Structure 1
Amino acid sequence: MTNRAWHLKSRPQGMPTMDNFELKPLGDRPLAEGEVRVRNAWLSVDPYMRGRMNDVKSYVPAFEVGAPLQGGAVGKVIESRAPGLAEGDTVFHMLGWREEAVGPAEAFNKVPPMPVPNEAWLGNLGLTGGTAYFGLLRAAQAKEGDIVFVSAAAGAVGSAVVQIAKAKGMTVIGSAGGAEKCAWVKELGADAVVDYKAEPIVQGLQKAAPKGIDVYFDNVGGDHLDAALASARNNARFAICGMIDGYNGAPPAALRYIMRIIAARIMLKGFIYTDYMGEVGEFYRDMGGWLASGQVKSRETVRDGIEAAPDAFLDLFRGGNTGKMLVKL
């Protein structure tokens, strides 16, 4: 079997291009004691990976030029020298962007026995769903009866936030680009959807939420953050998950309504998934139940083959995905 991996050939300046990536074979080596070899079946590409391509200090180390890229993946153990994992076990891990992953057993998590497809561990039961769950319910302290605004509501995290909020008895307003994506967000249960391609988001949100919002889940930044500030009620809570508007170096839009943080006593809290690892059992219990009952649904945009990974990643910034973007090997 081949074992190829995408490497970071050069650091992007602004929007990445295919020239920043290089697909090369990974050298084969025998396993050391305590290691496993995994044949990947599914790869995840996520917007936060763009930040790791810059040589800056952040909450995760930067990717190294000339080294293999990393990301979420699900696969099967094909060789093991570790007592906790056996050949044939399905695992999820962070050694993606490659066909086979080799590493210590502690780098791999055995998939729990739940009646869900394996790719769910990269979506609603993985980093994506966990980010939505903890951001909404912990960082933003959202509760039943709140009016919640979710930007990029047709994306992987945003669509999970919409459904979790509805499952918890909240009113939900989403934003999405284009009629097709807006219709899907409405199907997920959103009470209203603003098409930011059809009208300015500030005015669109004010029409959709005439009483204002209690919670904002931010995936976009820029004018969406400004719209949330303009519509925030007193003591509103903002979970700042991602600001994709600025990931490729574009200057963020001026925040005309930023002074409302003071007048409305708005709380803004940045967070990352790993802040809440001590509560992951509760997340699995709740999300597993919602998936089993059909309260939360998944939708994936799937590209085929290791060759497709960089273009799938770039499509995250071009609006080319609805729901979770995955690569199937």
Structure 2
Amino acid sequence: MSAQSFADRTLLELGRRLIADHYHFVTPTPLTHERVYQRLATPLAKDMRDVFGWSMPFEHSLFPADELADLERAGIVERDGALWRSAVRWSSLEGMLFAHSAYPTSQTDAIFFGPDSYRFAQLIVAHLQRCFEPVRRVVDIGCGAGVGALIAARSRQEAEVLAVDINPGALRLSAVNTELAGLNNVAVYHSDVLGSVDGQFDLIIANPPYMNDSQQRAYRHGGGALGEGLSLRIVRESLPRLGLGASLVLYTGVAMVAGHDPFLECVLPLVSGDAFGWTYRELDPDVFGEELLKPGYEWVERIAVVALTVTRRH
């Protein structure tokens, strides 16, 4: 067995063990996570939620020696001085368990999961509940841990669902999370937006990064003036790939400036006319307020989470 196969199999077996042990963890914002840490004089894991949810360091005695050795060999845990720490985190969502990057997500190729993931999942579920058109082919752009792809695949088990990302680590975790969920209608592909996948889709979903990140970490940095660049690119490249009656469901964030929504102002020319019907609404008017203290946000008054749905009529 190759090192990668061993790592993936070990991660999958760990996920199955956590499910059998009724593990459950809801991932908060990084700021909330930090505040929980601040309550503790010395964070030290007592159980699996502390290890794989709160990303606390732990003593070797928390695991049998042979299991700890396998977890280390698989790259799931690593030494942290005299202690150990998990390199992955497990989060619960819609009855499924997702592996993603541990806290803090400081690596440039970290795989994000957080409150946005829960809202994104709710948006997809709501759209599919209202959708009466056949959904045969779906793509989740920038799939990350695979939240969108798995939610769609479970709801439409007759559909072919593609999970695409430029991050090999995200594709690996999406594949593991798919197998853990017992779904057989998801395929993962390396693709820059839709560049490596052909044809039209009945549903295109995306939860892209939307921050202006000075470190340009892939899971946070959206590009453009205020983080809107990738979201706009997804809209431009997705609209020609929608079949008749098909929809783009985009969950993203917008840096509002002087009462104006710069993202919507750029989207309007793309969806105007008779070819498309569209809806746009704020899901949360104020998120990540701490970002306003950072360079590049001097003129931003708030960051809102928005949902754009575009459906091809003609």
TM range (shorter): 0.3 to 0.5
Q: When the two structures are superposed, what TM-score results if normalisation uses the length of structure 2?
A: 0.38
Structure number with the bigger relative contact order (C-alpha 8 A, sep ≥ 6) is: 1
Q: When the two structures are superposed, what TM-score results if normalisation uses the length of structure 1?
A: 0.37
